[in-house]
């Protein structure tokens, strides 16, 4: 797998999205799946940086592992923050989405957009690290 590291600060999000855009282009993803993957990775990376690192007073990197096979683009975000499973949190349900803006509690939207935007999303904690895995299927041409 290819590996690239980014400093765990919000200023990195821009270059992280740009890098994901390059990977998506190499994999031949269309515009919409490319955007959805950038969005998914931006959301999870934001959580890692704000809650895993900044709120905990930690300075560490976010590592992007990637692999392009004939059928899919796999991206894994690896971080050293406290164990956090994004899938462990309750997602907003239809009741939430029918609420008017002023009645909404804030939160959960990012993880909803992540899961909704990629073909597969999974989480693993191993060797003291969080691993958030994103898979995009490459459409046969």
Partner 1 sequence: MAFQIESVVEDKVAKLTLHGELDSLSARVFQTEIEKIAGKEIDSLVLDMEELNFMSSAGLRVLIYSKQKIGPKLSIYIVKPQELIVDTLEKTGLQHSVTIVDQFPV
Closer to partner 1 by Cβ: residue 116 or 122: 116
Residue 85: how many other CB atoms lie within 10 Å: 11
Closer to partner 1 by Cβ: residue 63 or 113: 113
DSSP code, position 28: T
Minimal distance, residue 53 CB to partner 1, in Å: 13
Closer to partner 1 by Cβ: residue 31 or 126: 31
- 3-state SS class at 4: strand
Residues that bind partner 1 (CB under 8 A): 10-11, 13-14, 17, 31-32, 35-36, 38-39, 42-43, 46, 50, 96-98, 100-102, 104, 106, 109-110, 112-113, 116
| 8 Å CB contact between 50 and 62 | no
Minimal distance, residue 126 CB to partner 1, in Å: 27
Q: How many angstroms separate the first and last alpha carbons of the chain?
A: 24
* CA gap 62, 47 in Å, rounded: 11
């Amino acid at each position: 797998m290819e590996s690239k590291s980014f400093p765990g600060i919000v200023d990195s999000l821009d270059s992280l999205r740009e890098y994901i855009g390059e990977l998506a282009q190499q994999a031949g993803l269309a515009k919409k799946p490319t955007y959805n993957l950038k969005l998914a990775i931006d959301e999870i990376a934001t959580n890692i940086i704000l809650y895993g690192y900044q709120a905990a007073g930690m300075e560490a990197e976010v590592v992007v592992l990637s692999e392009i096979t004939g059928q899919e683009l796999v991206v894994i975000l690896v971080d050293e923050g406290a164990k956090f499973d994004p899938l462990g949190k309750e997602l907003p349900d239809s009741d939430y989405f029918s609420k008017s803006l002023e009645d909404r509690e804030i939160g959960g939207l990012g993880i909803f957009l992540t899961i909704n935007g990629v073909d597969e999303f999974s989480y693993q904690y191993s060797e003291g690290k969080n691993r958030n895995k994103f898979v995009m299927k490459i459409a046969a041409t």
